[in-house]
Structure 1
């Protein structure tokens, strides 16, 4: 890990260097985000090659014009970072000055190291999880103060998205990372880099590691040389670390199904709040989303409904466009063909039941709407519906038999529907996916996983029927559902 001498060098640079570094840092993270490889990725999984942009779109610089960086710059100047693997106690800083501003924090990396004799197995003893291998210094305080936690999961080659996800989310984050074999060492090195260079992520996140029993974690003494000069290069740093995966590993890594539902459950169950906002790692919150949700979730409209799930609409945005921070700006982009409902072109059933037209109509009716409220209920629920939603964590878990692609998120949402949950679309908040998605041919490994999950669904739907005694979508009489 980092030596004391290097840490002193990192934080001993002059004011001008810090400001220049931070501006470059934010600039790159704004420009990093690129579309997914395929239609229904479903979250954090990937094949061997991963889904990493080959280049950085220049037009993301336009997003800077509408962003106030003063709070972040002040925070970074006051922060200190210690990634000592022995867990050196953080020094105490003076509390924030009168007049507001974020309190200084110290992020202690703790090495991100796990003891293989510890951890917990899933129900089938196929995957082991180590909870809270790193917990940010503000995570506990935020968990006590906030009613909602953002839960997400990812493989190592998507970790770079976290900087953008965390930028405007001001509540706790629970992140489950899939770390088989040498990807464990890569995760340790890269996450240390992230919490060092991006304290706005490290302060409020808790990371958890999950791996399969046939590919246990393999540690390597990975060091990011001259880290102090690379805080503006999150994509390049990750690409360099991923070179540790040799051809032999990549051959089995591509074929191995990503356990999406296992790690979704890990991220959910390690949140300490009553409500969980479950989203994929490349779904980006807008400014004020966590605060708006917190106010809504403590209101009578949320607390009186025992089986309500609150849908946060998601749009995909052309990477050439600036970051939309409010509904009117988003819909202006949509009118120019530079924003559209998530998955609209690749698989319309994925989000269709949200009824984006009705949500957009509220802009005409309530153009100055600021308080988060329910726009409308979901009245046309369908089997392949996969909204990003906020719900109490007593919602049905994700069935961990579904591995890889197909029938992972929608089966859990389907069981929620059968068990009596109702879905309600929130306004005026929304989330974003960077890049307009296009249909591409499915690789053979993905089609194989989808077919295997389709066969599993035949037994799953019978279990759901037996559990609840209801079949609102008439699935018991239906033929096998089509591809997701």
Structure 2
């Protein structure tokens, strides 16, 4: 016994690299300022208890005895993180803190960790990304996320994870609508509604071959590797304690819960409790607590540092003694960022770090852990191998195949289809420097809008605060904001347009730019024109004539007559008449001045009008990035598909002045930029000829005759 004791102490000292007398295996450093005999004696008693476990493990390895299901007496089926300080006095062994010897990972290298979340709606889908970032940042193991989602959350999260391309990460989705009948009968007053009860159904919702899972709320942030929590599955032991109402972090042994018929158990308990309770106020927490009260053997309570909540009192501080003890921060209210806790600045910085953390940096490989790459990753790798890194235009070609993270419907979105099937959505793209245009556009266009926003993670949060504070934007629910996260050297203008175009819910689209203000009433006018020109049975592109002003403050014209007067006075001009006449010359502004009916025009070289077309129109060519030929190439393909270009006589839009973009500055100053653009144009013509045959030769001929 003595030999084993000192052998254990020496080994721990060797592994921790610390002084023998100050080893954390012997004594808690926060309590030890000098070695006193009674303290050393108490710590030696703890070592002796650990030696008992060591002897059992030795007997196992020698085949002397088999210990059923390990040495941890798994009598429990679940564990929860209490949010109170009741566990604050636990020993290091019970608390599982960061002591070098008392804590060992107990998770195999490359062991797959399963995590489940219930996620519904736009706001929760946004919150869960911060949680995921914090987990990915610390993790050293492969992960499998299981999301129980409604239709909205699935529409957001599925493309987000598909475009994120994180190695060694699997994601599965389960339809919450299929689970609603299981819990819809439970009266519930909690703000989360029916989705707050979904955790009760996990034994049925998740795959039957899944034995254990960590269940998390979406409003928490990890400050440690989630493997530490996964290791708790092997420590379901010790005295059973009553569970409190903190069910934010739950470990479920699904196989054992199924064995005892968990579904029947919670249903019977809920029916009995509701006879007196009438309805739940804490959703699933009330039912979990009632079940555990009747069956205390089911639960192994987690220490409260797995669910630290800020408060104006000192309760949360009792859950940790130092930063290394923190495991999970629970942000169940935005007000938590404004409490007077002395640690609030540290907590706030921790939370904001992951809120604004560049998700692209989390695409790192887990070395030594083989993973099956996704089909998108294989396609990307194959495309990259075909590129020549010595090519002068390598960065342009690489941009075309870059996969950007996409967060669709970043803010709440609602759309109700119209009865006449002639509805039209304004489609545009923007970056942070054009954000000030959004309120004005919403005032000019009352119809649905689809916007792609090119932003970093930090800028996306700035936009969120802006959108939630703006009286104009927060009252408009028919605007779809789709965040495309920054990556690469160029502004992927046509990729952004395509993302906004793909997520339109109306039969027709108005392809515009965000620095244009449409005339008042244009939405209604376009809907009438769509019907009158029978666009549902013909291939037409309705052109909205473009004008511009050099004044930052403009008395916007309320009619065509007023606009013509401003043209004559020099307050307005035809768009780009002085720098790029060819871009809009085919509109024939002279004819438009007196026109009262729509008129058809022929395609001309470099024509790039803003048009209304059917939603199934060709997408933009994504090889064109930054400045130059991004709209021109699209109009060429519309013409190649025999769309008629029709000018609307009573429609107009006005370009508002702004500082030149970074990309146009590069175009003007870099000969290499201009050379690569000409190479891309040549390749576009070649691809067009292969796609449309001899009919496409006219575009190449027109280009060379200039």
TM-score, normalized by the shorter chain, greater than 0.5: yes
SS in 1 for 2:561: helix
Deviation per CA, 1:428-469, whole angstroms, max 9, x where unpaired?
121111249999996345544443222111111111111111
TM-score, normalising length from structure 1?
0.59
1:463 to 687, 693, 699: 687
**Residue 202 (structure 1) aligned to one of 469, 476, 485:** 476
Structure 1, unpaired ranges of 5+: 1-82, 89-109, 215-255, 367-372
Residue 386 of structure 1 pairs with residue 608 of structure 2: yes
Is the aligned partner of 1:334 residue 2:567? Answer: yes
The structure richer in helix per residue is 2
Corresponding position of 2:511: 278
How much does 1:130 deviate? 2.3
| Contact kept in structure 2, 1:179 and 1:187, CA below 8 Å | no
Q: Name the counterpart of 2:600.
A: 377
Equivalent position to 1:126, from 387, 398, 403: 403
- Please tell me whether residue 309 in structure 1 is matched to residue 541 in structure 2: yes
SS at match of 1:457: helix
Structure 2 residue 436 is matched with structure 1 residue 160: yes
Rounded to whole Å, the distance in 1 between the matches of 2:162 and 2:688 is: 33
* Cα displacement string for residues 196-215 of structure 1 (whole angstroms, at most 9, x for unaligned residues): x214763320110112456x
Counterpart in 2 of 1:421?
A: 643
Partner of 1:454: 678
Per-residue displacement from partner, 1:293-339 (whole Å, max 9, x unpaired)? 1122123543332x210001111135254110110000001111111
Cα offset, 1:288, TM superposition: 1.1
What is the count of residue pairs matched by the alignment? 322
Question: 1:169 aligns to what?
Answer: 445
For residues 443 and 661 of structure 2, the distance between their equivalents in structure 1, rounded to whole angstroms, comes to 29
CA–CA distance in 2 between the matches of 1:146 and 1:186? 35
- Supply the distance in 2 between the matched residues of 1:87 and 1:129 (Cα, whole angstroms): 13
Cα RMSD after superposing both structures: 3.5
Structure 1 144/153 Cα, relative in aligned 2: closer, same or farther at 3 Å? farther
The SS at the match of 2:410 is: strand
Paired residues of 1:156 and 1:178 also in contact (CA < 8 A) = yes
**2-side partners of 1:401 and 1:437: how far apart?**
25
d(CA) in 2 for partners of 1:323, 1:411: 31
Moved more, 435-444 or 203-212: 435-444
Give the match for residue 344 of structure 1: 577
Q: Does 1:292 align with 2:525?
A: yes
Separation in 2, partners of 1:201, 1:386: 33
Q: Are the structure 2 counterparts of residues 466 and 135 from structure 1 closer, same or farther at C-alpha, using a change threshold of 3 Å?
A: same
Give distance in 2, aligned partners of 1:277 and 1:84: 26
- Range that drifts further, 163-172 or 128-137: 128-137
The residue that corresponds to 1:430 in the other structure is: 652
Corresponding residue SS for 1:186: helix
Question: Structure 1's 161 and 437: CA in aligned 2 closer, same or farther, altered over 3 A?
Answer: closer
- The runs of 5 or more residues in structure 2 that have no matched partner are 1-120, 127-152, 165-375, 381-399
- Greater relative contact order (Cα < 8 A, sep 6+): 1
Distance in 1, matches of 2:658 and 2:404, equals 34
The structural deviation recorded for 1:156 is 1.3
* TM-score w.r.t. length of structure 2: 0.42
Separation in 2 of the partners of 1:171 and 1:354?
25
Q: Give yes or no for contact 2:494–2:624 (8 Å, CA) kept in 1.
A: yes
Contact 1:404 1:449 in 2 (8 A): no
Partners of 2:705 and 2:401 in 1: how far apart?
A: 26
- CA displacement at 1:140 relative to structure 2: 3.5
1-side partners of 2:633 and 2:592: how far apart?
25
1:114–1:133 CA contact under 8 A, matched in 2: no
1:135 matched to 2:418: no
